[in-house]
Amino acid sequence: MNTIGTGTIDRPVTRDPQKQDFAMNPSLTDTPVPVNTDAIESRQNRNLAMQLIPEALARAHMHERLQEAESERRAHRLAAARRMQRRAERASLRARRALAMAVMQ
């Protein structure tokens, strides 16, 4: 496996031999470079989580909008029900008056 031409965020590739990281070039050192798979995995998970943030925000925003719309619909239905109830009460009073007038005559 040749890693001379590649770099990572932690160890960027450089062309200057004096600034070159010997851990990036296994042929220059006899000791193997320890591979920290936990750090790589956590970095990948963090990147994935960062990519999913806008989606989560959009989902939360849509959930909030749906709740607002449902609340608004309930308010409209309640107002309409109250209007119909008042209208029914007025019709009932008119009917009572008409009945009372008919009985009085």
Please name the residue that has the structure tokens 């008056």: 97
pTM: 0.45
For each of the chain's 105 residues, which pLDDT tens digit applies? 444 556 676 776 666 666 655 555 555 555 555 556 676 677 777 777 788 888 999 999 999 999 999 999 999 999 999 999 999 999 999 999 999 999 988
pLDDT at site 18: 64
| Per-residue three-class SS string for the chain | CCCCCCCCCCCCCCCCCCCCCHHHCHHHCCCCCCCCHHHHHHHHHHHHHHHHHHHHHHHHHHHHHHHHHHHHHHHHHHHHHHHHHHHHHHHHHHHHHHHHHHHHC
